[in-house]
Structure 1
Amino acid sequence: MAALLGFSNQGSATHLMGGNLAYEYVMQVNDSTFRYKIIFKTYTNCGVNSNIPFPEASVTLGIYRDTVTANLPLQTLMTINLTDTTLIEPALPNSCTVGSGVCIIEGIYIDEIDLPKNYFGYHLYYNRCCRNGDILNLDNPGGRGMVFHAYIPPTLVENSSPVFSDLPMPFLCIDDTSSILNTAFDPDGDQLLFAFVDPYEDGPYPPFQPNPPATISWPLPTVPWLNITYNKNFPFGPNGYAYINGATGYSEYMSPDTGKFVVAVEIKEYRNNQLIGISRRDMQLLLLDCPFNPPPSLSNISGSGQTSYTIEEGDSLCFPITFSDEFGDSLTMVVVSPIFDTSVTNPAATVTTPVVGDSVVTSDFCWNTACDQGQGLPYIFTVSVQDNGCPPKTKDVVYEISVTDFVGPTTITGVTSVCPFATGLTYSVPSHPGATYSWTITGGTQVAGGTTNSITVDWDGPGIGIVALITTSSLGCPDGPININVTINDYPA
């Protein structure tokens, strides 16, 4: 029996490497029911040492009601069938054997579910035994289950979770700083904050594939690290390195040791400074000893090299994106973002992708923005360039394009109390270069100034007059209206 249990534990432990749960708000079905699309992505080890080299045909999630208490009750179970798969293998050139036995399959599970109105939201939860027993940065990793989680805000808050734009890397090389984008795009335009977190755990085991329990405790339990030298910010120990950009999710990793290590990245969504969503990605990273091959580098020649831009809405922006490889390897560039998708961004930016080059690769980014595309958060797109060295190395870069709103004058200066039929009174605003000014007068007549920033008004008889202004930028984008009320006094008795 002990031998049989040991085999079962190994069979449960050597295939699932990570994943993430996500959801999309679909519609309000009726006054008390809301529909969501649930998307679960898993990453399965399909290498030669995997006991289960293909994603499971179906998975069962638990959906729990948030009750603002420590124990969250099960609302319903949801079984989702496997919808699609993607094979992830290193693109090794001929005669290169580094990582030749490594492969990952992304499994995608998608289905819709109707949930009753809830003023506290729901927690999506999937648990699975077990983590691989040879993970180096956890205590007793083979006895630790994996938990995938996402939080849906109260149903009256229409929200969809962020979407990760990249696939996991099959492996990284020791003593080499490697990047993983972890970049996610939010369909609602919410502010996203990224952070390393302690991975969740489940157990004890057996059973090795339990159904979600009747209740879960909140906050969820997290894994114990191997010792005090390992933690969420130092997943490779004190001699390793890990960095994450809190605004974009771009991360870097360096380990001096070969082996398997676990990291987790959490995304918190904020809308109007209120936390409305939580999701995370759990990843197992494989570190190998590799021959030296520096990754491609971003060139600063002919206008390339800058990664952050600011323009005003209505303006145009074009710049080259150029990478080179010091070893002369062939390069492949891939650019990803919703700003190139006309169904999401209109007008959309343009770029040629993918692009292949011999030691140098270039693509041109262009965007003719419209007057309604200014926003408080930058638009983001990612560029990944891979060489064909041994092993192939990738350079990831995140670009940020800030499109600011046109802000015209905010206050009109002029007399606000006048005699009846007063003439020749001046009303003005500070001048904006290239702007035009459209004035509207109620209770009087504009007699001079045209579309300049300073006009002359003749007022009518007693009552309330109004001077209103819409300012249009040199790029054709309007702001306003603003106005000033003018009291047209009666004649003295």
Structure 2
Amino acid sequence: MGGELELQHKSGSNYTLLLNLYFDVVNGNPDAEDPSLLAGIFDKASNGRIGNYVTLQRVSRTPVQYTNPACTVASLVTRKIVYSADIVLPAAMFSSTIGYYVAVERCCRNNIIGNIVNPAGAGQTFYLEFPPVVRNGRPFVDSTPRIFPPLGDYACRGELFYYDFGGQDADGDSLVYDMVTPLNGHSTSANPGPQPLAATYSTITWTPGLSARNQIPGNPTLGIDARTGRLTVRPSQLGLFVFGVRCSEYRNGTKIGETRRDFQLYVLNCPQNTTPGLQLFTAASPRAYNPGRDTLKIKPGTNHCVRLRYTDLDPNSRLTVSAVPVNFTGSAAAGPSFTTATSGTVRAPGAPDTLTAMLCFPECFDTKKKVYLLDLVVADNGCSLPRRDTVRLAFMAEPLPNEPAILTTSFPAVSSTNGAPAPIRVPLGSTYTGTLTGTDADRNALVLSAQGQGFDLGAMGMTFTARNGNARADGLFQWQATCDAMQESKMLTVVFQLQETTTCEKLPYSRTVQFEVVPVTDSLSFLPPNVITPNGDGLNDVFTLPDLPADFCDVRYAGIRIFSRWGNEVYHSPERTFRWSGSGTSGVYYYLITYTDGRKYKGTLTVLP
């Protein structure tokens, strides 16, 4: 029935090559299920084959489900067969800038296909292009997109058939879809499974009046949306029809690969199915919403819900409604959602003729003064695919207004020079206390919190307690400065945060404060004497420094050295209690006081007679 190739990157130069083959269980010959198939890899520039043929082993056989299992017919049963092989694409062999292609050839097609010439003698070529694995000297990793989901449905003559072939690309590449004529290739009924040959590949021959743009007769004829991959056709003839779809992959505007799906669609006569109907009602008007003319405006304090009424003329029709965002993204948590049942049966014994559902918008939904579009869709359970009716709702929504919360603290003001937080210097062993107050004019619930940047508050001797509530929250911060904090970091940064929890725009308001441990004695107030008079009168007889800056945790006094004006050391002492009465010679001397952290104090001392 057709299929497609995939190339999936695993790691480094390792890839997995897959062939998804779809088999007609009803009309196909069981002997045509190959245990393995051969794939050839070719250089697009020269059409030369790269390396040996790759043997794809059959790894799975699974049934393909109908979109609606209740629509199953005995004449169409599809099986998906996957063939796989792990391959290596080394950079030395696969660096051609033009890229490469993979081909698998197999004959033959179902002999009852009605839109091509000689279907029983027509072959299939499964074709995949992929880029070089090195580009500009660097690895260029790519996997073919996961596209073309299994198709197990049939189409009904005169009914719109639709199917989403759109896929996802793991690498974030852009995908473009178009219709193409399926490839025939070199296989024949006499040689159904040849070793794949290089391009070019012949194509199947359409019956008169058909082409790549008109593969299945209909109104509209078979087509695919270039952007979404949605396949549509309203077939006008019964029968089995082959078709081809191509997905081209682009990265940064450059085509890097393509994948083709070769497939077939069965068109049957189906029981008549009436399209269901959907009406939408808002609280603003008793009449039904008029798409294209009305715009629903959702404002604070107004009704945020709309009512849906849906029905179907067919008896025992099971209907389901859904909401599909068109030009915005939404989720069950943040977007509009149904508050009642969204499915039910109409015109069955004991069942109503009309069902209703309620769709409500969150109070915090904000369209930011733009018109958002939401498709409300009702679908039945008709065969082969549901019939649908869609009402496109245009709406604008405003969230509840919110005045910003205010955070005030007893911490010093932020520096006016560079905007940085003013550090709070706390003497060793003392306790610092700070208060915080959050207020909110809208009386929203407020929560105060504090968090150390890179440290735990409790481990540093810090505590924070908060009394949270509506409209107001109070916090108390306390810190006993210890040497443990000094060892952790010279500067400790704490972020205090005020959070509104019951408003739409839950923006936090924060204040960052830095704390620093300092010695009990401030070294800035240390002023040594600069004159001594060692004359024995008991006044300034010796040079001593009782007000030396105190030892601070691991920072300790290292000693003093005194020098003559010629640079000769005349005195030194490691003791804080040193006493120097001069060297017996009047004049000017120089002293140097050092601490273990490298801190130094130096100055001059004059010895008078």
Structure 2 equivalent of residue 281 of structure 1: 261
> Post-superposition shift, 1:278?
0.6
Query: Contact 1:172 / 1:288 at 8 angstroms: preserved in 2?
Result: yes
2:103 counterpart of 1:119 = no
Query: Contact 2:180 / 2:245 at 8 angstroms: preserved in 1?
Result: yes
Which residue, 45, 60, 65 being the options, matches 1:83? Answer: 60
Change (3 A) 1:332 1:64: farther
Structure 2 equivalent of residue 24 of structure 1: 8
SS in 1 for 2:15: strand
Query: Contact 1:151 / 1:277 at 8 angstroms: preserved in 2?
Result: yes
Structure 2 equivalent of residue 404 of structure 1: none
Instruction: Supply the distance in 2 between the matched residues of 1:191 and 1:107 (Cα, whole angstroms).
Output: 28
> Post-superposition shift, 1:247?
0.4
Which residue, 234, 241, 248 being the options, matches 1:268? Answer: 248
Cα shift readout 1:392-449 (whole Å, capped 9, x = no counterpart): 4235899xxxxxxxxxxxxxxxxxxxxxxxxxxxxxxxxxxx99xxxxxxxx7469xx
Change (3 A) 1:396 1:239: closer
> Post-superposition shift, 1:200?
0.9
SS in 2 for 1:124: strand
Which residue, 35, 49, 57 being the options, matches 1:58? Answer: 35
Q: Gaps (5+ residues) in structure 2? A: 134-138, 283-288, 293-304, 325-330, 347-354, 363-374, 391-402, 405-416, 421-504, 509-609
Q: Which AA in structure 1 matches 2:195?
A: P
Instruction: Supply the distance in 1 between the matched residues of 2:3 and 2:281 (Cα, whole angstroms).
Output: 39
Q: Which has the higher contact order (CA 8 A, sep 6+)?
A: 1
Instruction: Supply the distance in 1 between the matched residues of 2:307 and 2:43 (Cα, whole angstroms).
Output: 48
Instruction: Supply the distance in 1 between the matched residues of 2:161 and 2:276 (Cα, whole angstroms).
Output: 12
RMSD: 5.0
Instruction: Supply the distance in 2 between the matched residues of 1:383 and 1:163 (Cα, whole angstroms).
Output: 28
Q: Which AA in structure 2 matches 1:107?
A: I
In the superposition, the TM-score normalised over structure 2's length comes to 0.48
SS in 2 for 1:241: coil
Which residue, 313, 330, 336 being the options, matches 2:318? Answer: 330
Instruction: Supply the distance in 2 between the matched residues of 1:259 and 1:143 (Cα, whole angstroms).
Output: 18
Which residue, 112, 115, 123 being the options, matches 1:137? Answer: 115
Change (3 A) 1:135 1:272: same
> Post-superposition shift, 1:300?
5.8
Cα shift readout 1:343-402 (whole Å, capped 9, x = no counterpart): xx9x999999xx8643569899999xxxxxxxxxxxxxx99987444x34235899xxxx
Structure 2 equivalent of residue 211 of structure 1: 194
Q: Which AA in structure 1 matches 2:87?
A: I
SS in 2 for 1:184: coil
Structure 2 equivalent of residue 431 of structure 1: none
> Post-superposition shift, 1:279?
0.7
> Post-superposition shift, 1:50?
3.4
Count the aligned residue pairs.
355
Cα shift readout 1:309-359 (whole Å, capped 9, x = no counterpart): xxxxxxxxx9999986553612468999xxxxxxxx9x999999xx86435
Which residue, 200, 203, 208 being the options, matches 1:222? Answer: 203
Which residue, 129, 143, 147 being the options, matches 1:151? Answer: 129
Structure 2 equivalent of residue 487 of structure 1: none
Query: Contact 2:37 / 2:104 at 8 angstroms: preserved in 1?
Result: yes
Instruction: Supply the distance in 2 between the matched residues of 1:68 and 1:158 (Cα, whole angstroms).
Output: 20
Structure 2 equivalent of residue 394 of structure 1: 386
- Residues 176-195 of structure 1 aligned to structure 2 (within 5 Å): 176-195=159-178
Query: Contact 2:105 / 2:187 at 8 angstroms: preserved in 1?
Result: no
Instruction: Supply the distance in 1 between the matched residues of 2:75 and 2:309 (Cα, whole angstroms).
Output: 32
> Post-superposition shift, 1:115?
2.1
Query: Contact 2:280 / 2:307 at 8 angstroms: preserved in 1?
Result: no
Instruction: Supply the distance in 1 between the matched residues of 2:86 and 2:361 (Cα, whole angstroms).
Output: 37
SS in 2 for 1:112: strand
> Post-superposition shift, 1:44?
1.1
2:213 counterpart of 1:233 = yes
Structure 2 equivalent of residue 105 of structure 1: 79
Instruction: Supply the distance in 2 between the matched residues of 1:293 and 1:268 (Cα, whole angstroms).
Output: 36
Structure 2 equivalent of residue 258 of structure 1: 238
Cα shift readout 1:252-283 (whole Å, capped 9, x = no counterpart): 11221101111111111111001112112111
Instruction: Supply the distance in 2 between the matched residues of 1:335 and 1:212 (Cα, whole angstroms).
Output: 50
Instruction: Supply the distance in 2 between the matched residues of 1:304 and 1:364 (Cα, whole angstroms).
Output: 17
Instruction: Supply the distance in 1 between the matched residues of 2:10 and 2:389 (Cα, whole angstroms).
Output: 32
Cα shift readout 1:19-67 (whole Å, capped 9, x = no counterpart): 1111211111xxxxx11122322211112x43329x8363323131324
Instruction: Supply the distance in 2 between the matched residues of 1:123 and 1:176 (Cα, whole angstroms).
Output: 38
Instruction: Supply the distance in 2 between the matched residues of 1:304 and 1:36 (Cα, whole angstroms).
Output: 54
Which residue, 6, 14, 28 being the options, matches 1:35? Answer: 14
Structure 1 equivalent of residue 151 of structure 2: 168
Change (3 A) 1:86 1:387: farther
Cα shift readout 1:155-179 (whole Å, capped 9, x = no counterpart): 1321111112633143101112211
Query: Contact 1:90 / 1:170 at 8 angstroms: preserved in 2?
Result: yes
Query: Contact 1:230 / 1:238 at 8 angstroms: preserved in 2?
Result: no
Q: Which AA in structure 1 matches 2:57?
A: I
Change (3 A) 1:384 1:112: farther
Structure 2 equivalent of residue 450 of structure 1: none
Query: Contact 2:44 / 2:101 at 8 angstroms: preserved in 1?
Result: no
SS in 1 for 2:198: strand
In the superposition, the TM-score normalised over structure 1's length comes to 0.59
